[in-house]
Amino acid sequence: MPWPDNPVGTVRIVPKEGLTPLFPRLARLAALALVVNLFAAPADACSMCMVAAGDRALPPIHAWLLLGVVWFVGTSVAAARSGARLRGVPSSPFRAVLLVMLLLFLYGGVVGPLVLPALLLGPATAALRSVAGCGPGSRVFGGVMLTAAGVLVCVSVGVRLTRTPGEYVTRWARTGPGMEAFRSLEQGGAASLDDYRYIAAHASGDVAEQAAARVENLTSGRSTTSAGRP
């Protein structure tokens, strides 16, 4: 006897509309990540190196990464509650969180979490449209996020203007960009003495020992020069 299509007392599980197309997208992202990993493997890239490079251009990079995640997921939650469809933002918070986790997992070994600022484009566009009143979305949430982004821009400019090379090297001494910045101090000669002193006092490991040695060399050179003068 064949089973009825919908017997009494059973519950039929119907897939949520819009969830099925998610899996082909995940497959395409996984394939793209595999190709990128294959080509980037000889470069010996690391996530912390990419984060250090990002912090040099856009400090504090961790605050920008946090803003990207919160803004992306929060915009997805607002879109789900209002029923609006926003370009570049999933209409399901679950899909938004899954996408963030997927990017962290797949791209973490290639370009690091610097892929997350790319998530700002969709939410920022939606926030500008909602605040201007020409698009759907939460004006309050969009306004708060736009204000946070503006504050971060001011903080980034302030850090770039006031942070010394010694502070950057101390913060990222165990990364490629940090060591590159340390080697570039040699070009400054005696002008880099204060940076070397800061690194020797606040860093640890080999870089601190190298900085202390260069401080000694520079100060001894100054002493020899001063002693040789009549």
pLDDT of residue 183: 94
Pair (48, 63) in one structural domain: yes
Residue 31 lies in a domain: no
Q: Which of 87, 88, 119 lies closest to 104 in space, CA to CA?
A: 119
Domain boundary (161, 191, 209) is at 161
Residue 15 lies in a domain: no
Residue 24 lies in a domain: no
CA–CA distance, 6 with 228 (Å, rounded to integer): 101
Residue 208 lies in a domain: yes
Query: What token pair was written down for 63?
Result: 């605050």
CA–CA distance, 62 with 114 (Å, rounded to integer): 10
Pair (134, 175) in one structural domain: no
Q: Minimum mean pLDDT among 98-112, 137-151, 167-181, 198-212: which range?
A: 98-112
Pair (177, 146) in one structural domain: no
Residue 123 lies in a domain: yes
Residue 170's domain comprises: 165-223
Q: Is the pLDDT of residue 95 over 70?
A: yes
CA–CA distance, 169 with 177 (Å, rounded to integer): 8
Q: Minimum mean pLDDT among 17-26, 76-85, 91-100, 179-188: which range?
A: 17-26
pLDDT of residue 130: 86
Residue 5 lies in a domain: no
pTM of the model: 0.74
pLDDT of residue 49: 85
Pair (86, 176) in one structural domain: no
**Portion of the chain with pLDDT greater than 90, in percent:** 41
Query: What token pair was written down for 26?
Result: 């995940």
CA–CA distance, 10 with 79 (Å, rounded to integer): 33
Residue 70 lies in a domain: yes
Pair (178, 127) in one structural domain: no
Strands (E), 72-181: none
pLDDT of residue 155: 97
Run of H or E residues at 42:
none
pLDDT of residue 63: 93
- The number of folded domains in the chain is 2
Non-local (6+) Cβ contacts of 175 within 8 A are 46, 48, 49, 51, 52
Q: Is the pLDDT of residue 159 over 90?
A: yes
Pair (153, 61) in one structural domain: yes
Pair (51, 151) in one structural domain: yes
Residue 125 lies in a domain: yes
